[in-house]
Amino acid sequence: MTEHQVAREFDASGLRCPMPILKTKKEIQEVAVGEILKVIATDVGTKKDFPAWSSRTGNEILEVVEEGDKLIWYIKRVK
């Protein structure tokens, strides 16, 4: 795992599709362009949803780390 300078953290644990992606769309707007949002999710659907969303929006997924039942996403705001 890489050390990231996280500007904001959002815990989406327990949320089911489509809520993690919908709330992440709002949360990414709270960080400046170039900053990193850390998202903690338990919905395995984010494995498909987040890369598709990133591709559409241009935001960059820097890393995803699996820790037990949690997926920890590091997303850099590009736009």
Question: Could you list the active site residues?
Answer: 17
Q: Give how far the C-alpha of residue 37 lies from the chain's centroid of Cα atoms, to the nearest Å.
A: 6
**What are 21's two structure tokens?**
């992606």
The helix/strand/coil state of 31 is coil
Q: What are the b/e assignments for 1-11, b being 16+ CB within 10 Å?
A: eeeeeeeeebe
